[in-house]
């Protein structure tokens, strides 16, 4: 038996023994665990599952063991993901710490900072949010104005961030601040870790067209940040900011592995078609409206093709040391545009049942789809608009003239 076969068997045994029953059921709308000091679990099994995986480091399977990570190789991690998919286990922890901050810290933070922050990310003890955009700095992020001024052992921070996801529920915020007002705009930015549990930090949820408020405005008024919370060098925060984005894409690639498996497994059916069949005319399992049927097929095929691409890029990354390939630049663009498309088709299929706002005439799933349809409109805006992604591809990948 090879080491990997053995690892697969051990992993499967461990997951079967340790995954609580509720965590083998499909995810529910409120079933996601986000961690943090004020973490609320909608079921006790969520807490148990997070605790068990967190102790093993398997919320961050490939991170080094010395900081509490799983220390798994690429192949072992792939096996773990496959076994979790096979067993249908839920993701134990959704976290911007895991997806964005942690990998950047591993690269740029001091040893002391890593020891302080990474284990808490892995165990879900601290919930992080991202302080990047400002009211006047959206696509042109590097024009940001939030100021940090040195004052003894601290920075004093003043300014405003916007679109800070879940800021009102988070413990800490990783923030881009201007520390060099005289320097060219990219060279005067620093990367600070700011504790939100202080008087100088206030959050105010923004009500969206979906009715939900996943985003906030975050205000800094003489917020105090110890200098030990400066990551990397002063005025070199843009390096960290860019690196963090790269890791976001890489993480997206590895998250896609589970999806591609399901898509390539064959007669697993189509979520879009199954949903549509409840609302449209069907004969012999076939959707009669040929226009809708072709749209669904096109959308399913795009999902399938996208999953294969995530998988291809992650295989290529394994086989080369060149870092993320050119193809990674398409993920954000394609993923968000595709998701919007998918919800448009759902609405088209469901007719007036997808147009409810609230009340008993609509099922909870229907209402959730309507709200999610509205939510998807932000997909191609947050984290860099689709137009910004297109600019990045044309300039950095295709090398088209300025």
Partner 1 sequence: MSLVLSETAAFLQDQTQRFAREKTPTSHFRSVRDSENPECFDREIWKQMADQGLSGILIPEEFGGSNFGLSGIGVVLQELGRTLTPSPLFATGVIGASFLTKIGTDSQKQKYLPEIANGNLTTCFAFEEGPRHKPIISKVTAEKKGKNYIINGKKSFVVDGGFADLIIIAAKTSKGPSLFLADKNSKGIDINIAKMVDSRNSANITFSDLEISPENILGEIDQAQDTIEEILDISRAALAAEMLGGALEAFEITINYLKEREQFGVKIGSFQALQHRAANMFTELELCKSCVLESLSCFDEKSNDIPRIVSLAKAKIGETFHLISNEGVQMHGGVGVTDEYDIGLYLKRARVAEQIFGNSEFHRNRYAELTGY
Smallest gap from residue 54 Cβ to partner 1 (A): 32
Asked whether position 393 contacts partner 1 by CB under 8 A, the answer is yes
In this complex, which beta carbon is closest to partner 1, that of residue 100 or of residue 280?
Answer: 280
Asked whether position 139 contacts partner 1 by CB under 8 A, the answer is no
Q: How many residues bind partner 1 (CB under 8 A)?
A: 48
In this complex, which beta carbon is closest to partner 1, that of residue 231 or of residue 280?
Answer: 280
List 66, 183, 286, 358, residue binding partner 1 (CB under 8 A): 286
List 58, 132, 174, 334, residue binding partner 1 (CB under 8 A): 334
From residue 256 to residue 285, the character string flagging contacts with partner 1 as x (rule: CB under 8 A) and all else as - is --------xxxx-xx--x--xx-------x
Asked whether position 287 contacts partner 1 by CB under 8 A, the answer is yes
- Quick one: how far is CA 35 from the chain centroid? 14
Asked whether position 305 contacts partner 1 by CB under 8 A, the answer is yes
Asked whether position 380 contacts partner 1 by CB under 8 A, the answer is no
In this complex, which beta carbon is closest to partner 1, that of residue 156 or of residue 392?
Answer: 392
Residues interacting with partner 1, by CB under 8 A?
264-267, 269-270, 273, 276-277, 285-287, 293-294, 296-298, 300-302, 304-306, 308-309, 311-312, 315-316, 319, 326-327, 330, 333-334, 387, 389-391, 393-395, 397-402
């Amino acid at each position: 038996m090879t080491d990997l076969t053995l690892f697969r068997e051990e992993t499967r045994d461990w997951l079967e023994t340790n995954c609580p029953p509720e965590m083998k059921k499909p995810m529910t709308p409120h079933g996601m665990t986000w961690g943090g000091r004020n973490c609320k679990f909608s079921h006790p099994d969520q807490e148990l599952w997070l605790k068990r995986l967190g102790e093993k480091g398997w919320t961050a399977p490939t991170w080094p063991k010395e900081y509490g990570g799983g220390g798994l190789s690429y192949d072992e991690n792939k096996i773990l993901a496959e076994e979790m998919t096979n067993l249908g286990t839920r993701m134990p922890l959704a976290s911007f710490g895991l997806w964005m901050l942690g990998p950047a810290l591993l690269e740029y933070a001091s040893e002391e900072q890593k020891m302080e922050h990474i284990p808490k990310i892995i165990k879900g003890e601290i919930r992080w949010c991202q302080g990047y955009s400002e009211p006047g700095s959206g696509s042109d992020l590097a024009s940001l104005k939030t100021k940090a001024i040195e004052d003894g052992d601290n920075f004093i921070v003043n300014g405003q961030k916007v679109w800070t996801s879940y800021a009102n529920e988070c413990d800490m915020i990783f923030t881009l601040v201007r520390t060099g007002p005289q320097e060219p705009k990219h060279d005067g930015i620093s990367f600070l870790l700011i504790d939100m549990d202080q008087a100088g930090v206030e959050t105010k949820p923004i009500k969206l067209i979906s009715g939900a408020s996943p985003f906030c405005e975050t205000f800094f008024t003489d917020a105090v940040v110890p200098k030990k919370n400066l990551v990397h060098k002063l005025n070199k925060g843009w390096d960290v900011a860019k690196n963090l984005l790269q890791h976001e894409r890489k993480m997206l690639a590895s998250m896609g592995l589970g999806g591609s498996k399901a898509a390539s497994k064959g007669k697993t059916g189509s979520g879009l078609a199954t949903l549509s069949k409840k609302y449209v005319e069907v004969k012999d399992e076939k959707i009669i409206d040929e226009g809708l049927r072709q749209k669904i097929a096109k959308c399913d095929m795009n999902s399938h093709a996208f999953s294969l691409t995530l998988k291809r890029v992650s295989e290529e990354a394994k086989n080369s040391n060149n870092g993320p390939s050119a193809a990674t630049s398409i993920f954000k663009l394609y993923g968000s545009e595709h998701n919007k498309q998918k919800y448009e088709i759902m609405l088209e299929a469901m007719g007036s049942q997808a147009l409810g706002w609230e009340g008993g005439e609509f099922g909870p799933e229907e209402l959730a789809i309507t709200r999610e349809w509205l939510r998807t409109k932000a997909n191609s805006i947050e984290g860099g608009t689709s137009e910004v992604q297109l600019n990045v591809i044309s300039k950095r990948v295709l090398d088209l003239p300025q």
